[in-house]
């Protein structure tokens, strides 16, 4: 107790940044869901174990997982023996991995936090989600500053967006003929909305915020096409010689925008990243 | 009446297709305009662009694909003299799908170069392997089908592992795997039609010798037909047809099986009308399904792809057709089962003791030796015995499940006299999987107990279905197998529909489906052990029946047996064994197929010896698989069922080659 106290004292003297608000030593947490990992990292919590680190770094990209975090293996079946050896104090999961609860709770208390629910994904939901995670890791102050800085960034970006920007048709290619189009309930949709832009996709989406459609269904949708990378192998070459795709882009009346990979099912960090990349892309195009 | 049925059916289908086409064209601005768009794209009108670059190409692609698959099915069924042979039975589709996965992950430049070439190569290599494995038996129908099945299982196991490890990267391939017919130009049509036409023409050249195959093999031989050459050409044509379709639009289930089956059912015997009617039926069936799917509302259309839908619609059709299908009793004289009788081995007591000892030593070694956080560790040295809490339940469960599946497989193989039968093949495992999917997606339950109950209900329903459809025929082996094929097709369809929808939940399901001991807890072990003991002893108690039944109905009856009743009882036992095992390790551990097979290859053919040998093999195989699966890609886990099929498949292929 005494040691903790002196440590705290030292901390509060040394750090004047928001790290100073860490009221106690860092909790040993493990996380399975990438959305939770990205949020935890943004809150300054470094999980001792995370699932599928290499894939996280390829698909979520930022914030990067520090190298001392141990890889737990697959998200659907995190390695129980390794997890038991790490002795975490808390394990975070999302409802998607609910069936793991009986096994994981033998190692440490399991906290199940949901984000993607039907008709319930919004900027407000992102904020609540961040605050819930922060509360469970004692990072309330970090959460407030994360939300505030995110809102400030988004507000700045919204001022940079040209006023005449059309509604956006945001999509990810699955193969040469199928796309996920993101609309309501999606991260991309929220990011666009936060910087004052509209989504051009008004059809119903699933609880992850996308519709899976053939590109023939995009005909007649009025809006600027925004393609989020990565494009599957061979698709780029295929689109270049696809007369229908050329026509599709032409009929929107705007050039196609391409955005580097952003995790489509993330929370605040991915939203801010997407908003930034989107603004840059719009700027470059209008030049 | 039989004469008019084909025409009535075809007329009905044509009218339906024509009506749907008319309705669509009418709704997009009149027939004149629509037909004008067929020949010329009016770039000023987006309607015309849509019709001429997406709608019309889609219609023609669908017709072509349906016809091609039907011809491939007829050829395969004719040349293999097997009513359940179809392009998917022989592993062509899964080979193509596997090669696409490999290319996507490890050689993306190949995908950029030509996707269809990759798929075609995969399909051809698979068929080459099937030929290679069955070459020494002059491409005998039974061996070809078994080789196809083994490769099918092998590729599916590998694909599932790749999919589990790379779900994000491979999500696009799932759409392809469910067979979507979306078109954005005439590329596929111009690719497909000359090739399909050429293949059909070549097939027509071989019609005469092919129809001689209707006779017995020796009959055909005496008429001067070179069987090997004939089989080679016809199987090759079927592969090409299938691969072209698979490469351009993806995996389309069931047309290749259903169209020829319906044709046969209509009483068409001669080969030329059979080919033509099947072609028309295949084209119409696929087109009808696709047109209906295009009319679905957005939210449903998002998750329903045509290829998987044909399979889902076709499976009940197949089940309905089954009781009406006249199956000639295939002469089983040639099956792998009987070929080993020359070298009967008897189990001696000491051999059992030795194997049992090996099992025990293996168990202790597997429990204590493993990769840990800091590399390879042996618990004896590092004293970290608390880890046994995780390992022992999994190993015990794997062992018990292996034994039960092996016993179930032995019963089913002996019962059907068919070496390709197993709990997986007769559809029990698929029933469990369907039950699980419904429980998971309808939100009825997400906890473990709920999932178990869902699986159990699924299994019981499938068993009910098997009994219902087969009790009239006295559980004739071919019929039971066909029922299983239809149910498995239904399960595959449901599974690809779910994976194609891109719902992230599907991967939790996939993890279970792949057969892992991951979810086993020590509390689940006791019921499992009791079930194993009880059910396996019943199996040994009934082993006398298993000796008599393969000798044929007449012999069995003359020995005073009630053949139908004993078949039903044994089937019920096999189902119970499978349910108990599957609820623990998932439905896809092909141990039930392999263990009895391997025991056969060792030469144990008396029922009792066969049961003991196969349960030892099954137990050991699962034990090793579970352990290996946790070491191979540490910290990722490869499910035990997957490792078992990858390991056992290799051995099975080696065994087949030796036949």
Task: Name the closest residue on chain B to residue A100, using Cα atoms.
Answer: B519
Q: What is the mean pLDDT of residues B600-629?
A: 87
Mean pLDDT over B180-198 rounds to 91
Contact assessment for residue B117 and residue B391, using Cβ atoms and an 8 Å cutoff = no
Every domain range in chain A assigned CATH 3.40.50.1980: 2-114, 152-286
DSSP string for B256-313:
HHHHHHHHHHTT--SHHHHHHHHHHHHHHHHHHHHHHHHTS-HHHHTT--HHHHHHHH
Tokens standing for residue B246: 């698979």
SS3 annotation, B142-206: HHHHHHHHHHHHHHHHHHHHHHHHCCCCCHHHHHHHCCCCCCCCCHHHHHHHHHHHHHHHHHHHC
Nearest to A204 among B299, B384, B634 (CB): B299
Query: Residue B211 pLDDT more than 70?
Result: yes
Q: Quote the pLDDT of residue B85.
A: 75
Among A84, A97, A245, the residue with its CB nearest the CB of B508 is: A97
Angle (nearest 5°) at CA A92 between A90 and A94? 155
Please state the length of chain B.
Answer: 659
Write the pLDDT tens digit of every residue in A176-206. 889 999 998 999 999 999 999 999 999 888 8
Least reliable range by pLDDT among A215-224, B404-413, B445-454, B597-606: B445-454
Q: pLDDT per residue over B415-469, tens digit each? A: 877 666 777 777 888 888 888 788 877 777 666 667 767 777 887 888 788 878 8
B412 vs B408: CA distance, rounded Å: 6
- Length of chain A counted residue by residue: 287
Contact A244 B49 (CB under 8 A): yes
Q: Measured between beta carbons, which residues in chain A are less than 8 angstroms from residue B510?
A: 76
Q: Domain map of chain B by residue range?
A: 44-186+194-326, 389-658
Q: Which helix (H) or strand (E) holds B48?
A: helix B46-50
ipTM at complex level: 0.82
Closest C-alpha among B114, B10, B22, B100 to residue B59: B22
Cβ-contact B373, A86 below 8 angstroms: yes
End-to-end CA distance of chain A: 60
Residue with tokens 């259309």: B301
CB contact under 8 A, B185 and A265: no
Fold of B44-186+194-326: ABC transporter involved in vitamin B12 uptake, BtuC (1.10.3470)
> Pick from B519, B510, B511, B515: which is nearest to B640 by CA?
B515
Contact check, Cβ <8 Å, B115/A234: yes
HSE on the CB side for B517, CA within 13 Å?
32
* CB-based contact B447 A220, cutoff 8 Å: no
List the CATH code of the domain at A152-286: 3.40.50.1980
CB-closest option in A95, A216, A232 to B182: A216
Dihedral of CA atoms B195, B197, B201, B204 in degrees, nearest 10, equals 110
DSSP-derived 3-state class of residue B644: helix
Q: Are residues A233 and B109, on separate chains, in Cβ contact within 8 Å?
A: yes
Tokens of A96: 């998607």
Q: Please tell me the distance in Å from A85's CA to the nearest CA on chain B.
A: 7
B389-658 maps to CATH 1.10.3470.10: yes
Q: B419 to each of A260, B111, B134, B435, how far by Cα in Å?
A: 53, 38, 15, 27
| Local confidence band at B655 (pLDDT 50, 70, 90 cut-offs) | low
- SS3 state of residue B574: helix
Confidence of residue B250 (pLDDT cuts 50, 70, 90): confident
Q: Is B541 on the interface with A (CB under 8 A)?
A: no
- For B515, nearest residue in chain A (alpha carbons): A77
Partner-chain contact A247 B49, CB within 8 Å: yes
- Residue from the list A99, A211, A244 with its beta carbon closest to the beta carbon of B185: A244
User: Is omega for the bond preceding B511 within 30 degrees of 0, making it cis?
Assistant: no
Kindly determine whether residue B303 and residue A79, on different chains, have CB atoms separated by under 8 Å: no
At a CB cut-off of 8 Å and minimum separation 6, what does B403 contact? Answer: B532, B536, B615, B618, B619
- Alpha-carbon distance values, B292 to B23, B309, B571 (Å): 11, 10, 39
- Residue A199 DSSP code: B
Asked if B291 and B17 touch (Cβ cutoff 8 Å), the reply is yes
Exposure string of B34-69, with b = 16+ CB inside 10 Å and e = fewer, is beebbeebeeeeebbbbbbbbbbbbbbbbbbbbbbb
Q: Cβ–Cβ of B519/A99 closer than 8 Å?
A: yes
In this complex, which of A203, A211, A242 lies closest to B184 when CB atoms are compared? A242
Mutate to test the interface with A, among B61, B172, B513 (most CBs of A within 10 A): B172
A2-114 CATH fold: Rossmann fold (3.40.50)
* Minimal C-alpha gap between A136 and chain B (Å): 24
Question: Taking all residues of chain B, what is their mean pLDDT, rounded to a whole number?
Answer: 81
CB B311 within 8 A of CB B253: yes
- The DSSP 8-state label assigned to residue A138 in this structure reads T
B635 Cβ neighbours under 8 A, 6+ residues apart:
A70, A71, A72, A73, A79, A82
CB contact under 8 A, A177 and B503: no
The per-residue pLDDT for B659 is 54
**Whole-angstrom Cα distance, residue B605 to residue B597?**
10
The verdict on B450 touching A (C-beta cutoff 8 Å) is no
Q: Find all residues with CB under 8 Å of A187, minimum gap 6, and list them.
A: A121, A209, A262, A263, A264, A265, A266, A267, A270, A271, A274
Look at residue B179 and tell me whether its pLDDT is greater than 80. yes
Cα distances (Å, whole numbers) of residue B494 to B178, B253, B448, B455: 10, 11, 21, 15
Which among B185, B448, B504 has CB closest to A99?
B448
- pLDDT at position B336 is 41
- Give yes or no for B111 touching A (CB within 8 A): yes
By Cβ distance, the residue of B110, B370, B504 closest to A208 is B504
Q: Chains A and B: how many Cβ contacts under 8 Å?
A: 162
- Contact state of A242 with B504 under an 8 Å Cβ cutoff: no
* Over residues B582-586, mean pLDDT: 74
Omega before residue B635 within 30° of 0, cis: yes
Q: Which of B301, B302, B368 to mutate to test the interface with A (most CBs of A within 10 A)?
A: B302
Task: Give the ranges where A118-186 is alpha helix by DSSP (H).
Answer: 123-136, 140-160
Question: Strands A70-71, B375-378: parallel, antiparallel or unpaired by DSSP?
Answer: unpaired
Contact B76, B235 (CB under 8 A): yes
C-beta separation of B501 from B303 below 8 A: yes
**Is the pLDDT reported for residue B333 higher than 50?**
no
Contact B222, B53 (CB under 8 A): no
The distance of B125 to chain A (nearest Cα, Å) reads 22
Q: Which of B220-229, B361-370, B422-431, B577-586 is predicted least confidently?
A: B220-229
- Which residues in chain A land under pLDDT 70? 1-25
Contact A237 B183 (CB under 8 A): no
């Amino acid at each position: 107790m005494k040691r903790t106290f002196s440590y705290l004292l030292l901390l509060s003297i040394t750090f004047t940044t928001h790290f100073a608000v860490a009221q106690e030593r860092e909790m040993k947490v493990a996380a399975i869901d990438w959305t939770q990992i990205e949020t935890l990292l943004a809150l300054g919590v470094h999980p001792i174990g995370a699932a599928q680190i290499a894939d996280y770094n390829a698909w979520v990209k930022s914030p990067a997982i520090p190298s001392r975090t141990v890889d737990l293996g697959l998200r659907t079946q995190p390695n129980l023996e390794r997890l038991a050896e790490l002795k975490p104090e808390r394990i975070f999961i999302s409802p998607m991995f609910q069936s793991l609860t009986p096994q994981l709770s033998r190692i440490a208390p399991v906290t199940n936090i949901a984000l993607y629910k039907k008709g319930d994904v919004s900027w407000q939901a992102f904020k609540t989600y961040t605050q819930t995670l922060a509360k469970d890791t004692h990072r309330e102050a970090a959460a407030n500053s994360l939300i505030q800085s995110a809102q400030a960034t988004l507000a700045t970006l919204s001022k940079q967006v040209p006023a005449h920007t059309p509604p956006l048709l945001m999509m990810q290619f699955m193969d040469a003929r199928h796309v996920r189009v993101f609309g309501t309930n999606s991260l991309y949709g929220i990011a666009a909305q936060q910087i004052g832009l509209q989504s051009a996709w008004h059809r119903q989406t699933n609880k992850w915020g996308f519709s899976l459609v053939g590109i023939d269904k995009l005909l007649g949708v009025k809006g600027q096409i925004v393609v989020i990378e990565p494009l599957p192998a061979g698709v780029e070459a295929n689109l270049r010689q696809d007369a229908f795709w050329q026509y599709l882009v032409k009929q929107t009346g705007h050039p196609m925008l391409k955005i580097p990979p952003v995790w489509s099912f993330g929370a605040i960090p991915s939203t801010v990243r997407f908003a930034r990349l989107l603004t840059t892309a719009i700027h470059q195009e209008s030049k | 009446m039989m004469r008019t049925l084909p025409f009535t059916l075809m007329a009905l289908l044509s009218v339906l297709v024509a009506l749907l086409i008319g309705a669509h064209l009418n709704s997009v601005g009149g027939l004149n305009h629509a037909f004008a768009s067929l020949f010329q794209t009016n770039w000023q009108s987006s309607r015309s662009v849509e019709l001429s670059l997406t709608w019309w190409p889609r219609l023609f692609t669908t017709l072509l694909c349906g016809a091609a698959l039907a011809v491939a099915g007829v050829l395969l069924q004719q040349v293999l003299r097997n009513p359940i042979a179809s392009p998917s039975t022989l592993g062509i589709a899964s080979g193509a799908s596997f090669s696409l996965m490999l290319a996507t992950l490890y050689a993306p430049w190949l995908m950029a170069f030509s996707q269809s070439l990759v798929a075609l190569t995969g399909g051809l290599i698979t068929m080459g392997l099937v030929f290679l494995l069955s070459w020494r038996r002059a491409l005998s129908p039974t061996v070809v089908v078994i080789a196809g099945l083994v490769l099918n299982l092998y590729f599916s196991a590998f694909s599932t592992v790749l999919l589990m490890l790379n779900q994000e990267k491979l999500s696009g391939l799932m759409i392809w795997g469910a067979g979507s017919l979306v078109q954005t130009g005439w590329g596929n049509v111009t690719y497909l039609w000359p090739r399909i036409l050429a293949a059909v023409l070549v097939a027509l050249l071989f019609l005469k010798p092919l129809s001689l195959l209707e006779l017995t093999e020796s009959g055909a031989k005496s008429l001067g037909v070179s069987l090997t050459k004939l089989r080679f050409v016809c199987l090759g044509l079927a592969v090409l047809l299938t691969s072209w379709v698979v490469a351009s639009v993806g995996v389309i289930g069931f047309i290749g099986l259903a169209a020829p089956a319906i044709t046969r059912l209509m009483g068409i015997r001669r080969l030329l009308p059979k080919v033509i009617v099947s072609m028309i039926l295949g084209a119409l069936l696929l087109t009808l399904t696709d047109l209906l799917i295009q009319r679905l509302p957005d939210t449903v259309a998002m998750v329903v792809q045509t290829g998987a839908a044909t399979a889902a619609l076709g499976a009940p059709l197949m089940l309905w057709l089954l009781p009406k299908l006249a199956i000639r009793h295939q002469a089983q004289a040639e099956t792998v089962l009987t070929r080993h009788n020359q070298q009967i081995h008897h189990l001696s007591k000491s051999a059992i003791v030795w194997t049992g000892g090996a099992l025990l030593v293996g168990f202790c070694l597997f429990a204590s030796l493993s990769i840990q956080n800091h590399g390879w560790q042996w618990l004896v040295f590092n004293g970290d015995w608390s880890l046994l809490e995780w390992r022992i339940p999994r190993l015990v469960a794997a062992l018990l499940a292996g034994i039960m599946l092996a016993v179930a497989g032995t019963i089913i193989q002996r019962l059907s006299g068919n070496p390709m039968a197993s709990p997986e093949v007769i559809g029990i495992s698929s029933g469990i999987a369907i039950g699980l999917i419904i429980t998971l997606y309808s939100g009825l339950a997400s906890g473990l107990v709920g999932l178990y109950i869902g699986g159990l209900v699924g299994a019981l329903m499938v068993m009910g279905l098997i009994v219902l459809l087969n009790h009239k025929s006295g559980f004739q082996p071919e019929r039971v197998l066909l029922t299983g094929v239809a149910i498995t097709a239904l399960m595959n369809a449901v599974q690809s529909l779910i994976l194609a929808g891109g719902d992230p939940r599907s991967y939790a399901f996939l993890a279970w489906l792949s057969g892992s001991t991951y979810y086993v807890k020590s509390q689940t072990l006791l019921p499992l052990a009791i079930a194993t003991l009880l059910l396996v002893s019943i199996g040994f108690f009934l082993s006398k029946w298993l000796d008599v039944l393969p000798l044929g109905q007449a012999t069995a009856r003359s020995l005073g047996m009630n053949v139908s009743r004993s078949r039903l009882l044994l089937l019920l036992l096999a189902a119970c064994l499978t349910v108990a095992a599957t609820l623990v390790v998932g439905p896809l551990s092909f141990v039930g197929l392999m263990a009895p097979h391997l025991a056969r290859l060792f030469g144990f053919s008396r029922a009792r010896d066969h049961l003991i040998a196969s349960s030892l093999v099954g137990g050991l195989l699962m034990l090793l698989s579970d352990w290996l699966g946790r070491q191979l890609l540490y910290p990722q886990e490869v499910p035990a069922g997957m490792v078992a099929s990858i390991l056992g498949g290799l051995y099975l292929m080696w065994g087949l080659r030796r036949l």
